[in-house]
Amino acid sequence: MTQQSNAAHGSLGDPTWPVARCVVQSKELARPGYKSETAAEYLDSPEVIDAKVAVLAHMLRKSPATVAYTGAGLSTAAGIGDYASRASGTLALRWGDEKGKQAGTKAKVSMRARQPTQAHRVLAGLERVGLLHQWINQNHDGLAQKATFPQERLVEIHGRSAVALQAQHHSEQPELTRAHVGRCPHALPAARSLTITPHARPNTLLRH
């Protein structure tokens, strides 16, 4: 596998897959002050996406413990903007963007009215059939819970809106996290802008 293909598609990607096309160029860092990629945006071809899904499904079926790690991009399809989409002409929904307001009005849609995206529901479905064992989520929008993902398997690293349960779950989650990450051969990072370098690097397929 060439270095370019490995960087674009992960360690289990096919070297014959074409590199994703840059659709929005930017030299600005997505997360200034962190180990971050630029804010440039890329799209794989539909054929490569289908091939990646097939590889990912195989990884999930053979993994004894899989942990998902997700960021703000998971909720943009629900109308919640993110902070890292800084490129001019971004395809994503930025925090405070007019798209985050109800169509045809100047009123913002309440956070409580937001509904889970297809991605939230897929993660919840993977947990129900035993293919996802823990979800580490940077968001605190409540969409994971609305998608019926069990709270006891959810780590919300920035806290959550339901403050009454926050202390209880935060006291339980570190041990749960160590138990799964310690034996986790596969990580599923998605919709995040920071680069992750685990102490014991698991196999990864998708970089974003």
Catalytic residues: 158
3-state percent breakdown (helix, strand, coil) of the chain, nearest 5: 35, 15, 50
Q: How far apart are CA 33 and CA 58, in angstroms?
A: 36
User: DSSP secondary structure string, 136-163?
Assistant: EES--SSHHHHTT--GGGEEETT--S-H
How far apart, in whole angstroms, are the C-alpha atoms of residue 54 and residue 187? 16
| Distance, CA of 53 to CA of 107 (rounded, Å) | 38
Buried/exposed code over 41-69 (b: 16+ C-beta within 10 A; e: otherwise) = beebeeebeebbeebbeebbeebebbbbb
Alpha-carbon separation of residue 115 from 97, 110, 190, 203 (angstroms): 18, 11, 19, 31
Distance CA 169, CA 62 (A): 29
